[in-house]
Amino acid sequence: MKTQVKCLVVGGGVIGTSIAYHLARAGWQDVMLIERDELTCGSTWHAAGLLPLFNMSYAAGHIHDYSVKFYKTLEEETGLNAGFKVVGNLRMAQSRARMEEFELYASTAETLGIPYEWITPGEMAERWPLFRSDDMQGALFHPTDGYINPADVTMAMAKGARQRGVAIERKWQADGFEWKGDHWDVTLTKMVEKGGNLVPSDEQVVVSAEHVVTASGNHAQRTARMLGIKMPAIPVEHQYIVTEPDPELVKWREAGNPEHPVMRDADAKNYIREKRGGWCVGIYEKGAPARFLYRVPDSFRADLFQLDLERIEGEYMDMIHRVPSAENVGIKDDFNGPICYTPDGNPLVGPAPGLRNMWLAEGFSFGITAAGGTGYYLAQMMVEGEAEIDMASLDPKRYGNWMTTEFAARKNEECYSHVYVLHHPDEERPACRPLRTSPAYDRQKARGAQFGWVNGWERPNYFGPKDAPESFDHDARSFRRGGWWQYAVEEAKAIREGVGLIDATAFAKNIVKGPGATAFLDWFTCNKLPRVGRINLTYALTDHGTTRTEYTIVRLAEDCYYLVSSGAWAAYDGDYLRKAVADKEAEFGRIEVQDVTTQWGVFAIAGPKSRDVLNEVVKDAEPETVLSNKRFPWLSMREIELGMCPVRAVRVAYTGELGWELHHPMEMQNYLFDLLEEAGKNHGMKLVGARAQNWLRLEKSYRAFGNELGRDATPLEADLPRFVDLDKEFHGKAKLIETGVRAKCCTMLIDGPDDADPWGREALYTPEGARVGRLTSGGYSVHFGTSIGLGYVKPELAVEGTRLKVRMFDKLWDATVTCDSPYDPKNETIRKDG
Ligand SMILES: Cc1cc2nc3c(=O)[nH]c(=O)nc-3n(C[C@H](O)[C@H](O)[C@H](O)COP(=O)(O)OP(=O)(O)OC[C@H]3O[C@@H](n4cnc5c(N)ncnc54)[C@H](O)[C@@H]3O)c2cc1C
């Protein structure tokens, strides 16, 4: 066994094997993979092997697409046939709402270039008469995917990896990791058989590895403990059944008919494919328990749990309804295995929090489908510094340190049971809530707040009726304008015409200070640093010049800065900041970073009457001028007093209206809320949620992190040159310039359906029908009375007046590119004096 390698991959399931293969293919010479037992002995061996391209996430869509294409090439490279059957994938819709879900997905699929076809119930009956289709609305068919043999595809990748120089060692378990400053010392223990169990022997070796990847599947919690980190990757039970041969199916195939596509009847929570003349039926039922919360027992090797037929009886009967000929065939085989999950169903792929050269690839629930693409894109990140797609939605740090085992287990059970729910883009999931609440949560709830979940925080999405039933928000969801839409319209109007108050407490807040702080931030971010008492919007870039974090920087003192960034990405951004500080301290001098997120609450007050409300409660020697442009200009910060509450007020408004962010001590939040609410009564102040705020920022062309801003585009591609100071040196500058502008962000007004707005995932076309880009945000503009979106198109099209088309509900709708900030382009209302 080698004791010194460039990269050690821990775990010989489909994921680890693909990563080892792709690292070698990307040029790393010295890669070793270790497996505590046999390759594929974790969840991989018993997977059903389906490879669904269907995916609502842009990044996961790319990953699945790569896998499907890559698996088709493996046999030629390795000589091993992995049993890839390209039978296609048929998604059936029992309801109009399900069809609308597919229509939204189809538009997203087009942005990825994934082919699909619509199938009517009549066509279904003609092509696949064994499937009942008279009660269906229609179906979406992917002709290019199908299923594969999970063990065989793993073995083919293992062979390909070996051919490219990867060493694969079985029966070695990683038992300890120690960072030595420039490499990891990983202690491996030889595993031996004892009474059918696999147990550690006394034989150990230490392997030094410049990089480590963990792909430990169901053992993720053990891995996390060894690394001293948290990961919400915990498996849940998943069952599928293989029936005896179905005589009708056998007859159908003997007549020379092709194999049935993999069929998914989402409304019945099942999937079906042919297997040895019978049917293989998998089910995503309610009540499947999380397993191995702390460890996998020694006795659980390539094992399964007992079938729980009672739990899936209803769904099994629904399968018989769909495939009537299955009624009289018995069960031949059953599988109930651990399937790793995360709270949002996406795996955890990327750098581990707080650690160097430690990469995670854990929590895969669609691991067979995701393995190829994960290996490819993770290898890009490791070898080249960045992947060509933005992997943030898969990053392990999208969950913060507040997360616990209990949270992960309950949330993963929920995620599993939600696999086949209608995935409304305005979906909010109920488990483990409320968990992180700001003090004013109860007050806002009493006033009708319907909350959304942001990194564990409860943040009002909109304010509905005060006495709304528990199911109100659930029933308000739609692929079109949901029951909440009118409330958001009124809230948006309140800010444009009067005044509104938004709870923005979830923002991440960090203090960066010390003798090295100024030089560090000047290098770390691409815009000029503000003067003391002023603020700036700026970006920290990746090595490749793309956007890694968006910050509002407030300069509190010469060497003290208050950094405000997205609440959803607190741990992800914080990790990048801390690692950069640690790297640069020796060069720039001492720098201290304090995360003060939970110490400071934030209310954003905005609207033409916002100054009037604050004037009622502000305390100052000259209260009549304290909020004037002279004493408190736009883009500045002042310490003010509102009643008895000391407030760090920042004159910015994400809504693009006259307004202030009121950063206040968390423990005084209720006092401040009551004070503002009382003062607001005289001015008709409305409580406003995140949905209205999102629409308002679109009218101002304010880019959102995670939508327009991410690791696949530079700030220049986001068309934000005013926030990039090319006269100074900053991290990522050379690459930013070298990259140029491949696609450009622009704002468009959309003449869409009367009852729907885009969600920001739709494909964009020229009037002649050529696909030219995609939307990254969508919503409704109260000011213009029409739908609005931000998106990326070819640079030559991102100019005012360009006519485009947006695909929504399988039709193309007119869109026109506007100027940047179509509402108040000169920022006159925002700068209004008073
Ligand atoms: C019933 C069922 C059906 C499924 N059907 C599908 C499907 O149709 N399509 C699909 O895409 N997915 C499916 N899945 C999910 C799929 O099986 C998993 O997502 C996938 O196998 C995960 O692969 P992995 O490599 O991450 O984990 P595993 O296959 O579990 O591999 C992890 C490996 O790491 C090893 N290991 C752990 N810790 C250490 C250590 N410290 N040192 C050394 N080795 C270690 C383990 O022994 C194990 O072999 C299904 C799952 C189940 C349960």
Residue 298 has pLDDT above 90, yes or no: no
For 563, residues 6+ apart whose C-beta sits below 8 A from its C-beta are 509, 510, 511, 512, 551, 552, 553, 554, 577
Sign of torsion, CA 684 624 671 604? Answer: positive
Q: From the CA of 400, how far away is ligand 1's center (Å)?
A: 25
Res 127: pLDDT:
96
Q: What is the DSSP letter of 704?
A: -
Kindly state if the Cβ of 271 falls inside 6 Å of ligand 1: no
Percent of residues, the chain, with pLDDT higher than 90 = 98
Res 772: pLDDT:
97
CA nearest 30: which of 49, 4, 64, 50? 4
Mean pLDDT, residues 180-204: 96
322-337 confidence digits (pLDDT tens): 999 999 999 999 999 9
Helical spans, DSSP H, in 308-438: 309-322, 367-384, 405-417
Res 389: pLDDT:
95
Give the C-alpha separation, 741 to 797, whole Å.
12
CA 830: distance to chain centroid? Answer: 32
Res 251: pLDDT:
97
Please give the structure tokens belonging to residue 575: 């990790």
Give the C-alpha separation, 669 to 642, whole Å.
12
762-800 confidence digits (pLDDT tens): 999 999 999 999 999 999 999 999 999 999 999 999 999
Give the C-alpha separation, 792 to 202, whole Å.
58
For 330, residues 6+ apart whose C-beta sits below 8 A from its C-beta are 243, 244
Q: What is the DSSP letter of 667?
A: G
Res 45: pLDDT:
93
221-274 confidence digits (pLDDT tens): 999 999 999 999 999 999 999 999 999 999 999 999 999 999 999 999 999 999
Kindly state if the Cβ of 360 falls inside 6 Å of ligand 1: no
Q: How many CB atoms neighbour CB 294 within 10 A?
A: 9
For 217, residues 6+ apart whose C-beta sits below 8 A from its C-beta are 11, 13, 15, 42, 43, 44, 340, 362, 364, 367
pLDDT band at 101 (very low <50, low <70, confident <90, very high): very high
Mean pLDDT, residues 466-478: 96
Among protein residues, the one with the nearest Cα to ligand 1's atom 20 is: 367
CA nearest 297: which of 163, 196, 228? 196
Average pLDDT, the chain: 97
Among protein residues, the one with the nearest Cα to ligand 1's atom 26 is: 217
Give the C-alpha separation, 310 to 341, whole Å.
23
Query: What strands lie across the sheet with 560-565, from one edge to the other?
Result: 535-541, 547-557, 560-565, 508-513, 592-595
Res 528: pLDDT:
98
Q: From the CA of 58, how far away is ligand 1's center (Å)?
A: 23
Lowest mean pLDDT among 140-149, 295-304, 774-783: 295-304
Q: How many CB atoms neighbour CB 727 within 10 A?
A: 6
Among protein residues, the one with the nearest Cα to ligand 1's atom 25 is: 13
Kindly state if the Cβ of 149 falls inside 6 Å of ligand 1: no
Distances from the Cα of 425 to the Cα of 265, 273, 421, angstroms: 20, 29, 12
CA nearest 415: which of 427, 403, 429? 429
355-375 confidence digits (pLDDT tens): 999 999 999 999 999 999 999
For 160, residues 6+ apart whose C-beta sits below 8 A from its C-beta are 21, 25, 74, 77, 78
pLDDT band at 824 (very low <50, low <70, confident <90, very high): very high
Instruction: Report the helix count and the strand count for the chain, using DSSP H and E.
Output: 19, 36
Q: What is the DSSP letter of 666?
A: G
Res 56: pLDDT:
76
715 upstream amide cis, omega within 30 of 0: no
Kindly state if the Cβ of 173 falls inside 6 Å of ligand 1: yes
Mean pLDDT, residues 120-134: 96
Q: How many CB atoms neighbour CB 150 within 10 A?
A: 25
Are residues 338 and 235 in contact, defined by beta-carbon separation less than 8 angstroms? Answer: yes
CA nearest 518: which of 529, 509, 527, 508? 529
Res 53: pLDDT:
86
Percent of residues, the chain, with pLDDT higher than 70 = 100
Q: From the CA of 390, how far away is ligand 1's center (Å)?
A: 24
Among protein residues, the one with the nearest Cα to ligand 1's atom 34 is: 11
Kindly state if the Cβ of 16 falls inside 6 Å of ligand 1: yes
Res 33: pLDDT:
98
Are residues 602 and 622 in contact, defined by beta-carbon separation less than 8 angstroms? Answer: no
Kindly state if the Cβ of 325 falls inside 6 Å of ligand 1: no
CA nearest 338: which of 608, 13, 2? 13
Among protein residues, the one with the nearest Cα to ligand 1's atom 41 is: 174
Please give the structure tokens belonging to residue 832: 């209004």
Res 196: pLDDT:
85
Res 54: pLDDT:
81
Q: From the CA of 685, how far away is ligand 1's center (Å)?
A: 53
Q: From the CA of 41, how far away is ligand 1's center (Å)?
A: 8
Kindly state if the Cβ of 43 falls inside 6 Å of ligand 1: yes
Sign of torsion, CA 98 104 108 113? Answer: positive
Are residues 178 and 184 in contact, defined by beta-carbon separation less than 8 angstroms? Answer: yes
Please give the structure tokens belonging to residue 647: 């407030």
Kindly state if the Cβ of 123 falls inside 6 Å of ligand 1: no
Give the C-alpha separation, 450 to 468, whole Å.
9
Kindly state if the Cβ of 756 falls inside 6 Å of ligand 1: no
Q: From the CA of 365, how far away is ligand 1's center (Å)?
A: 8
Nearest atom in ligand 1 to the alpha carbon of residue 44 is 21
Q: Whole-prediction pTM value? A: 0.97
pLDDT band at 702 (very low <50, low <70, confident <90, very high): very high
Give the C-alpha separation, 799 to 745, whole Å.
10
Q: How many CB atoms neighbour CB 134 within 10 A?
A: 8
Half-sphere exposure of 702 (CA within 13 A, CB side): 21
First to last CA, the chain: 75
Q: From the CA of 764, how far away is ligand 1's center (Å)?
A: 37
159-170 confidence digits (pLDDT tens): 999 999 999 999
Q: From the CA of 186, how far away is ligand 1's center (Å)?
A: 22
34-77 confidence digits (pLDDT tens): 999 999 999 999 999 999 988 778 899 999 999 999 999 999 99
CA nearest 36: which of 179, 188, 165, 149? 188
Among protein residues, the one with the nearest Cα to ligand 1's atom 12 is: 366
Are residues 448 and 466 in contact, defined by beta-carbon separation less than 8 angstroms? Answer: yes
Q: From the CA of 353, how far away is ligand 1's center (Å)?
A: 23
Q: Is 248 helix (H, G, I), strand (E, B) or coil?
A: helix
Res 730: pLDDT:
98
Q: Is 799 helix (H, G, I), strand (E, B) or coil?
A: coil
Helical spans, DSSP H, in 8-95: 14-25, 58-78
Res 684: pLDDT:
98
Q: From the CA of 374, how far away is ligand 1's center (Å)?
A: 14
Are residues 658 and 606 in contact, defined by beta-carbon separation less than 8 angstroms? Answer: yes
Res 302: pLDDT:
87
